[in-house]
Structure 1
Amino acid sequence: MSTVKITPSTASLAISIKQLAGIQLPRLQNTIFTSNSTKLRAPRRAFTVSMAASVDTPFEVCVKQSITTPNKLGDCPFTQRVLLTLEEKHLPYDMKFVDLSNKPDWFLKISPEGKVPLIKLDEKWVPDSDVITQALEEKFPEPPLTTPPEKASIGSKIFPKFVAFLKSKDPTDGTEQALLDELTAFNDCLKENLPATVDKVILCFQLKGPFINGNEVSAADLSLGPKLYHLEIALGHYKNWSIPDSLSYVKSYMKSIFSRESFINTRALKEGVIEGWRPKVMG
């Protein structure tokens, strides 16, 4: 559901506009596609009026269908990043669920590599979450989600270290410690206002709020949040491992991200994340 975080006074204004203008708000509908091109309509979700963007037609977004639950969003942190961007910018979207284990011909024509996410922008299908989120930022600059270049890489090495540790069969190969090093460095960034130093695993800059760029969520958070969500679920299930309590700022950061309405609206089911990682864990 596309939502906007607003104060009571702004909410009253939005309601008044809706009532006075008699606006029929657009509603989102999900379409599930399989190899035989059959379309199944999922339950509709209401779309909350946005004060930041005016888009009449929902964006078409191809997403992974859950491998555990029909008509549910699948386990792809890169897709969630795109959906989070749409949610935070209050843009309507129409999710088209694609069974990636049985990809339909029409999907392979617009996505030769057979990958999601994929969004239709200006009548063209655009792949890659980096490209998509940048295009959305340029096309809809309000509310801004840009992360300053000097902060954009904060936390960027956590995901590959997580994957390496998750797939590891050798507890002495150093993959756990490598992940802990990245998480510790990120924790330090959140805890202190430190200048960049060459001996840190990731760069640290002055921070003035709970997010990477301060008090307001930014593109870096929308990229890192889904990956930390997968980390928490997959490592907890397959290795009975959790982020140490000593990294309290990281845990607080995750709580802040995971509790956002935009995140709740776009997260994959826990069981879907577990099953999504099973082939990589089992080799």
Structure 2
Amino acid sequence: RPVQQLHLFVKAGPDGESVGDCPFAHSVRMVLEAKGLEYVLSPCAPDGKPQWLVDGYDGKMPCLVHDGEAYTESSHIVDYLNFFFQEPKLAAPMAAAQEATSQFFPALAKYLKNTDESADPDLREALETELTKIDMHLQDLQAQHDTEDLFIAGPTFGISDCALAPKLYHMDVAAKHFKNFQIPTECTALEKYLAKVFAHPAFAKTQYPEDVVLWGWGNARGGV
């Protein structure tokens, strides 16, 4: 039986038609790109979602439709794609990488959403702590593999990179714009990783404009 077409529904950008700023949808698109899978991409504005998506799945996106079934939650979609389309293989997540990265995006979101300047120093410090965790993890990997040319789970590009890179992109663009934030200078391993993962075709071919990132966080900040 022929495999039916993959159809991905994602948040739309400010024009209501182009791809929006959701890093979780970006993660799914990176996996699709890395596996060389063809798919239909449908960005949806809040009032432009298909009725079946609203009625059956509370309008949640990203939503992947394949073989007559719909899947929401980016991690579930990625697991499904990795199981159903096993080649080319992507490096599996590793516990140490997940532990090092799990609190980064919550810390970033709190910092970016904050509009009370008096709270910024503590929130900035919390974000820097999470970035240092990632940097230390990368340093440990470098020592294990005797090379600096690594992805987040080792020498091979994988699932964890697809999850992390879109979030780092948001930090690189939005934290710089709204908070004049820079990665701590001592996080040299993280800086090298950033350059490497941003140059990977799976990221480069699915990247959306910086203005879209700023639009999303501007809304989250209440337009401030």
Q: Which residue number corresponds to residue 163 of structure 1? A: 109
Aligned counterparts of 2:47 and 2:176: Cα–Cα separation in 1: 26
What is the root-mean-square deviation in Å for CA atoms of aligned residues? 2.2
Q: Which runs of structure 2 are paired with 1:32-71 in the superposition (5 Å)?
A: 57-67=4-14, 69=15, 71=17
Q: Which residue number corresponds to residue 174 of structure 1? A: 122
Amino acid at match of 1:218: G
Q: 2:133 aligns with which of 185, 196, 199?
A: 185
What is the CA-CA distance between 1:156 and the residue it aligns to?
A: 1.6
Secondary structure, in 3 states, of the residue corresponding to 1:125? Answer: strand
What is the CA-CA distance between 1:126 and the residue it aligns to?
A: 0.5
Aligned counterparts of 2:37 and 2:57: Cα–Cα separation in 1: 23
Q: Which residue number corresponds to residue 115 of structure 1? A: 60
Q: Which runs of structure 2 are paired with 1:21-170 in the superposition (5 Å)?
A: 57-67=4-14, 69=15, 71-112=17-58, 114-145=59-90, 146-168=92-114, 169=116, 170=118
Q: Deviations over 1:157-181 (max 9, x none)?
A: 1100111111222245511111101
What is the CA-CA distance between 1:216 and the residue it aligns to?
A: 0.7
Amino acid at match of 1:186: I
What is the CA-CA distance between 1:79 and the residue it aligns to?
A: 0.2
Aligned counterparts of 2:182 and 2:44: Cα–Cα separation in 1: 32
Aligned counterparts of 1:193 and 1:66: Cα–Cα separation in 2: 37
Aligned counterparts of 1:161 and 1:59: Cα–Cα separation in 2: 33
Task: Considering fraction of residues, name the structure with more helix.
Answer: 2
**Alignment TM-score, normalising by the size of structure 2:** 0.87
What is the CA-CA distance between 1:120 and the residue it aligns to?
A: 1.1
Q: Which runs of structure 2 are paired with 1:207-246 in the superposition (5 Å)?
A: 209-246=149-186
Identity of aligned residues (%): 29
Q: Deviations over 1:14-66 (max 9, x none)?
A: xxxxxxxxxxxxxxxxxxxxxxxxxxxxxxxxxxxxxxxxx865410001111
**Conserved? CA contact 1:58–1:91, under 8 Å:** no
Secondary structure, in 3 states, of the residue corresponding to 2:208? Answer: coil
| Bigger RCO (CA 8 Å, 6+ sep) | 2
**Alignment TM-score, normalising by the size of structure 1:** 0.70
**Conserved? CA contact 1:156–1:224, under 8 Å:** no
Aligned counterparts of 1:101 and 1:241: Cα–Cα separation in 2: 34
What is the CA-CA distance between 1:148 and the residue it aligns to?
A: 3.1
**Conserved? CA contact 2:6–2:64, under 8 Å:** yes
Amino acid at match of 1:184: T
For these two proteins, the number of residue pairs brought into alignment is 217
What is the CA-CA distance between 1:110 and the residue it aligns to?
A: 4.1
Question: Which sections of structure 2, spanning at least 5 residues, go unmatched?
Answer: none
**Conserved? CA contact 2:173–2:214, under 8 Å:** yes
